[in-house]
Amino acid sequence: MSEQQEKKQAFELHPTPMLDHLESGPWPSFIKGFKETVTRTEKTMVRGVLDQLNYSYETKMGYWKGGVVGVHGYGAGVISRYSMISDQFPEATEFHTMRVQPAPGLHYSAKALREVCDIWEKYGSGLMSMHGQTGNLQLQGVKAENVQALFDELNQRGWDLGGAGATVRTGASCVGPARCEQACYDTLGTHGKVLSYYADLTHRPQLPYKAKFKFSGCPNDCTNSIQRADYAVIGTWKDDMQVDTAEVENFIDKKGIDYVVNNVISRCPTQAITLKGKQLEIDNRNCVRCMHCLNVMPKALSPGKERGITLLVGGKGHLKVGNMLGSVMVPFMKMETEEDIDAFIELIDKMIDYWSENGLDHERIGETIERVGVQEFLDAVGLEANIDMVAHPRDNPFFKADLTHSPEEAA
């Protein structure tokens, strides 16, 4: 046996019969990918992880347990994983993940991304998840001893860690102004500024529980923010939508009246669109900015010019209370200047402060608001009640009636 052969043998993959089933098929195979990398880099950690994974497929059980691993000065950003069966799979003993905050909109230059790959291959497994559901670049498979060096090299190139535990989490933003005609504000810039501002709260757990931001340029909500962000920042407009009448006519000519009736007019949730010959009349007072007609006719219809955001608060998963969709807290707010972003941050600060003081352990802000009642929360953060916050007024008399209320609108 030649030396080369010996070396090769030493790094041969162990059989993973269950995993091998996942190599076929048209969809990219993560197993194939892992095997390729481990075969090239001969990182035993990855071989161990594949072995343990195969064992999971056989026994239908997972075998990781948590621990505490971190970088200097930070309390979050590394998810540590130790094998519960390291006696069986010693190569898989440690398999920690570093959460790295990408640029807004998950944009990269090939150059910077290659650098990340190089640093990552140097210190870790070479496996990565692009991206985690929250939006982190997840570097999966580093030993505790390499964590600090890995971080330091990344940090020198402008990469910082994401959140974990009771922190502000890594944000997400849609591609927005970089490419999309529907973007009503600068999702990417706002994401960058807001999350930089909250870097301390991202890195050191000081909150009742996690807090997530997502930034969507319009109500299409391509970041799914309403469902899964404590703070959903969604672009919208206040004035009339812009109509390019020539393009409306072109569209009708091209697609036919039937198509327009069946796919635009009759689909408007508030019946705000009327057909007038070869034109559409938009009843802007009734338009709820749902985006549908703009989506179907992007060349003809565009958001208005008085643009800003709607802030919805409280979105999160179903733990304990059933899935919570965020709900409107600020119907409209400008988001154009530095001052606008500052005002936004000031408001969020008040919310986070209130929640920090009043939230129970492991309670998301939406749950806190639900528990204390929207009223109390509004008072605490200095917001006025607004009809846009509700789908409809209350249907029960169980409230502390406010004697200062006057039933008639102030003139």
Given the rule CB under 6 A, which residues bind ligand SF4? 174-176, 180, 182-183, 216-218, 220-222, 268-270, 272-273, 282, 287-294
For residues 60 and 272, give the distance between their C-alpha atoms in angstroms, rounded to a whole number.
53
323 binds its own copies (CB under 8 A): yes
Smaller CB distance to other proteins: residue 62 or 256? 62
Q: Which residues contact 307 (CB under 8 A, 6 or more apart)?
A: 184, 185, 235, 236, 237, 238, 334, 335, 336
Q: 409 touches which of other proteins, ligand SF4, ligand SRM, none (CB within 5 to 8 A by kind)?
A: other proteins
- Give the range of 5-13, 31-39, 337-345, 348-356 binding other proteins by CB under 8 A: 31-39
Q: Which residues contact 68 (CB under 8 A, 6 or more apart)?
A: 80
For residues 380 and 366, give the distance between their C-alpha atoms in angstroms, rounded to a whole number.
15
Q: 355 touches which of ligand SRM, other proteins, its own copies, none (CB within 5 to 8 A by kind)?
A: none
For residues 100 and 78, give the distance between their C-alpha atoms in angstroms, rounded to a whole number.
9
Contact between 276 and 228 (Cβ < 8 Å): no
Site string for other proteins, 105-134 (x = CB under 8 A): xxxxxxxxxx--xx-xx----xxxxxx-x-
Q: 282 touches which of ligand SF4, its own copies, other proteins, none (CB within 5 to 8 A by kind)?
A: ligand SF4
Smaller CB distance to ligand SRM: residue 39 or 86? 86
Q: Which residues contact 189 (CB under 8 A, 6 or more apart)?
A: 104, 177
Q: What is the residue type of 247? A: E
27 binds other proteins (CB under 8 A): yes
340 binds other proteins (CB under 8 A): no
Smallest separation, CB 302 to ligand SF4 (Å): 11
Smaller CB distance to its own copies: residue 396 or 406? 396
Q: Which residues contact 66 (CB under 8 A, 6 or more apart)?
A: 79, 80, 81, 82
For residues 137 and 131, give the distance between their C-alpha atoms in angstroms, rounded to a whole number.
5
Smallest separation, CB 294 to ligand SF4 (Å): 6
Three-state SS annotation for 23-38? HCCCCCCHHHHHHHHH
Q: Name residue 65's beta-bridge partners.
A: 82
Smaller CB distance to ligand SRM: residue 130 or 257? 130
Q: 393 touches which of other proteins, ligand SRM, its own copies, none (CB within 5 to 8 A by kind)?
A: other proteins
Smaller CB distance to its own copies: residue 4 or 396? 396
Neighbouring C-beta atoms of residue 358, cutoff 10 Å: 17
27 binds its own copies (CB under 8 A): no
As to burial, measured by CB atoms within 10 angstroms (0-12 exposed, 13-18 middle, 19+ buried), residue 27 is: exposed
Smaller CB distance to ligand SF4: residue 100 or 300? 300
For residues 334 and 371, give the distance between their C-alpha atoms in angstroms, rounded to a whole number.
30
295 binds ligand SRM (CB under 6 A): yes
Q: How far is CA 325 from CA 66, 314, 315, 319, 371, in A?
A: 30, 7, 4, 13, 15
257 binds other proteins (CB under 8 A): no
Which residue of 318, 392, 400, 405 would you call a contact of its own copies, by CB under 8 A? 318
Residues 25-64 that bind ligand SRM (CB under 6 A): none
393 binds other proteins (CB under 8 A): yes
220 binds ligand SRM (CB under 6 A): yes
Which residue of 35, 228, 289, 307 would you call a contact of ligand SRM, by CB under 6 A? 228
Cis bond upstream, residue 203 (ω within 30): no
As to burial, measured by CB atoms within 10 angstroms (0-12 exposed, 13-18 middle, 19+ buried), residue 361 is: exposed
- Give the range of 24-32, 131-139, 271-279, 304-312 binding ligand SRM by CB under 6 A: 131-139
Smallest separation, CB 335 to its own copies (Å): 32
Q: What is the residue type of 261? A: V
Smallest separation, CB 88 to other proteins (Å): 14
Q: What does the binding site for its own copies look like in residue numbers (CB under 8 A)? A: 318, 322-323, 395-398
Q: What does the binding site for ligand SRM look like in residue numbers (CB under 6 A)? A: 79, 97, 99, 105, 131-136, 162, 170, 174-175, 180-182, 212, 220-222, 224, 228, 295, 298, 316-319, 364
